[in-house]
Amino acid sequence: MAPPGANSAAAPARRSKTDVVDAALGILATQGLPDLTMRRIADELGVRPSALYWHFPNKQTLLAAVSERILALSGSAPDPTPPWREGATAIATSLQRCLLRYRDGAELVSSSLAMGLIQPPAQRQLLELALAHRMPPALARVASSTLVHFVLGHTFHVQQRLELARVAASAVGAPVPAATAPEDDFEGGVALIVHGAESLARADPRP
């Protein structure tokens, strides 16, 4: 009766990798990274923890899949090629927005990246942009990776303060600060790195 892919009432529901990642993202958004355990993901899916190991070999690769979904909306460089300064800033900002969309997003992505389970986000776009502006390749590489690490590190820091504020607020019974204030030195740090690369490139132009 039921067409393939639809669940009849009799057959038990079956989960796909996508469903598992969805459940994990839901827990991440509402509970945060410390509560993102295999057992809670299983609960959310109405399944036993061991079932998850049919979909993923271990927790690390599951979290890497979650990281990739968080980064999926990271904007690519627009066409036609924008100026270095504007383009690099836009890429950095877009990356930060992705990370801020989920609680502890930067920490999660950083650790997946550190374990070599995902590619450095936005780095390819930055590299291409830099090379399009005839930046020396070695400098382009350094500038891209420095910028990406700055965004990750800074956003991690911002989100960690947000978590601390959260526990402090909940201890007093106060409402949690919902939105992330633009805060502070994000723009300054990005500008520093972008400008530094530009200036060094001028001092040592490509033949």
Partner DNA sequence: ACCTGAACACCGTTCAAGT
Q: Is 12 in the site for DNA (CB under 7 A)?
A: yes
- Residue 55's nearest CA partner among 36, 37, 42, 69 is 42
Measured over the CA atoms of residue 128, residue 132, residue 138 and residue 143, the dihedral's sign is negative
Taking the least distance from each CB to a second copy, the nearer of 131 and 142 is 142
How deeply is 59 buried, as exposed, middle or buried, from its count of CB atoms within 10 A (0-12, 13-18, 19+)?
middle
Looking at residue 44, its amino acid is E
Spell 128-137 as b/e; 16+ CB within 10 A means b: bbbeebebbe
Find the binder of a second copy among 3, 116, 205, 207 (CB under 8 A).
116
Figure out which of the listed residues 7, 18, 58, 180 binds DNA, where binding follows CB under 7 A.
58
Decide if residue 8 touches DNA (CB under 7 A): no
CB of 61 to DNA, least distance (A): 9
Q: Is residue 199 within the footprint of a second copy (CB under 8 A)?
A: yes
What residues make contact with a second copy under the rule CB under 8 A? 107, 114-116, 138-139, 141-143, 145-146, 149-150, 152-154, 156-157, 160-161, 164, 185, 188-189, 191-193, 195-197, 199-200
